[in-house]
Amino acid sequence: MKALILVGGFGTRLRPLTLSLPKPLVEFCNKPTVVHQIEALVEAGVTHVILGVGYRADVMETELKKHEERLGIRITLSYEDEPLGTAGPLALARNELLEYKDRPFFVLNADVVCSYPFKTMLDFHQKHGCEGTICVTKVEEPSRYGVVVYTEDGKIDRFVEKPTTFVSNRINAGLYLFNTTILERIELKPTSIEKKIFPQMSKEGELFAMELPGFWMDVGQPKDFIIGASLYLNHCAKNKPELLSNHESCLGNVLVDETAVIGKDCQIGPDVVIGPGCVIEDGVCIQRSTIMKGSRVGSHSWISNSIVGWRCRVGKWVRMEGVSVLGEDVAIKDELYVNGGRILPHKEIGASVPNPA
């Protein structure tokens, strides 16, 4: 089987992290988002993953080469000279997708994290026998989204954009499974699959919805990245508790790389991720935050609802909160307050940032 991952463009919503790495390579819970997806696809029987890319493709290719070898699959890149939306990349990769003409293929939004129930999707798709399956997920405020209306058996009736009265609380989750006949519908030009292709498929009775079990989050911006990490760690606690730390300083669900060092009298958690080679000095408190590879947090600092990028140095008695994000190689001097700051890579901060960026 094959899969196409829609990587997209510049990742501006996740800056300053994406100033150093393409968005799919930014570590989510100590592993690049796209690697979470590829590993789950391989478990479902996918042997060839295509990435639709338009930004820093050389970096993507180099990084993914080692995963290609480790997993024993093919990973190829489909280059977009111009943004092609969410349908155009399928047309661009048409020849590769048609190599297995009689087999369906997966399509994923690169920002989505969930339990990736690809085997369940495949069973559901084969049972209904139509052209397409999309995963849907329940949300609390459907008026913020375009919602999906479908029958009991999953056949999609229509899509409603940001409804003012309740018609459904299920939204498109960004995971699809298609027969290769869908490629006959799509031209090689910028096209929205959600606005142009799906409505036509639903009119013809060729599109079904499968409700996504478990958690779901689009982690394409810092606030949602932090929420997504909490959901993922809760998922691990229920399904893979061996992945979580049992260090004496950890409270609740905490993921700590084995090469990280945690000092005395710390309180780490809940919902914290600490990456490879990090050093957490004595008396540090961290909650609902991610500390990325090679960073150091000085003694008695307090970090909440924040992301500390790669190789950063947070001084002593620093307080960070309010969805603050440090880019790569940022230094925060001692005894400063950072509230909602978005700090560019390679900067040194010598004064407090009391107001959100």
Q: Could you tell me which residues come within 8 angstroms of residue 203 by beta carbon, excluding any fewer than 6 positions away?
A: none
Question: Beta partners for 105?
Answer: 2, 178
Task: Please say if 162 is a catalytic residue.
Answer: yes
d(CA 24, CA 307): 16
Q: Is the Cβ–Cβ distance between 303 and 314 less than 8 Å? A: yes
d(CA 343, CA 17): 9
Q: What are the C-alpha distances in Å from 356 to residues 48, 226, 285?
A: 43, 16, 21
d(CA 102, CA 347): 53
Phi, psi of 180 (to 5 degrees): -65, -15
Q: What are the C-alpha distances in Å from 288 to residues 2, 231, 269, 305, 307?
A: 36, 11, 7, 5, 9
d(CA 219, CA 26): 11
Q: What are the C-alpha distances in Å from 340 to residues 16, 297, 324, 352, 354?
A: 13, 18, 4, 11, 8
d(CA 200, CA 231): 34
With CA atoms as reference, report the closest residue to 161 among 147, 140, 151, 142: 147
**For 156, what's the count of Cα atoms within 13 Å in the CB-facing half-sphere?**
29
Question: Beta partners for 209?
Answer: 134
Tell me which of 31, 162, 238, 264 is the catalytic residue. 162
Question: Beta partners for 27?
Answer: 32
Active site residues: 162
